[in-house]
Amino acid sequence: MPVKIKGAPGGEGGDAPGGSGGTWRRLYLVRHGEVAYFCADGRPADPWEVSLNANGKAQADRFATALSGCGAELLMTSAVPRAIQTAAILAAGMNLTPVVDACWNELRPGDLAAFPPARLHGVIVDAYRRAAEPGACFFGGEGFADFARRAGDALEHRLTSRSWSTAVVVTHDPVLRFLVARCLGLGLGACGFSSTNPDASM
């Protein structure tokens, strides 16, 4: 999913419309490849340690082909293994070294094991829709306001750099939802009304 965002004045990207003195940057948002969040016996796997499965590696290969000519000068990834693995596959075709930044990490949940897999998607989306409420947390885990601050700070930090006009970030569904909402000028509450698909997240 490519988005165009306004960066710092005097950068290397093209001039922003209207003569505002800023620059436009192209940022490709890539969700990590597929992983198995549940073991064969139905027990939840550790989401911070799971690796790409065969389909996830194939997805990353397709992403690498699609992005090989995008002209990116910067490739970023979260510090979570599945994102690092995806970025490594992309890097091979882009001649770039991934920059690992924990600010792009997954929204850390509380206890999701209490919910059966069939209900998990619904309760997660409901949590997103409540994200803008004061004190809202992701199932007792990371607060949405803290999450938005770290992801927003990561974006602003990169936008102050004049070293790139096109970049790729490999991250996670909640971060992608937040970044899309942010680029549309919407708040945290909009995160519940967007979604990402591993085969269509560029």
pLDDT, block means (10 residues), the chain with 202 residues = 57 44 83 88 80 96 94 97 97 94 90 68 76 87 93 92 94 92 85 57 40
CATH number of the domain to which 8 belongs: 3.40.50.1240
In a domain, 198, yes or no: no
Beta pairing, strands 2-7 & 23-31: antiparallel
In a domain, 202, yes or no: no
d(Cα 91, Cα 170) in Å, to the nearest integer? 11
d(Cα 96, Cα 99) in Å, to the nearest integer? 9
| DSSP string for 83-121 | HHHHHHHHHHHHT---EE-GGGPPPPPS--TTS-HHHHH
In a domain, 134, yes or no: yes
Q: What is the largest CA-CA distance in the chain?
A: 59
Q: What is the reported pLDDT for 199?
A: 45
Q: What is the reported pLDDT for 197?
A: 53
In a domain, 125, yes or no: yes
Q: What is the reported pLDDT for 201?
A: 42
Q: What is the reported pLDDT for 184?
A: 86
Total number of domains constituting the chain: 1
Burial class (CB in 10 A: 0-12, 13-18, 19+), 129: middle
In a domain, 75, yes or no: yes
What is the span of the domain harbouring residue 99? 2-193
Q: What is the reported pLDDT for 103?
A: 95
In a domain, 30, yes or no: yes
In a domain, 54, yes or no: yes
In a domain, 199, yes or no: no
User: Considering only CA atoms, which of 87, 103, 109, 91 is closest in space to residue 169?
Assistant: 87
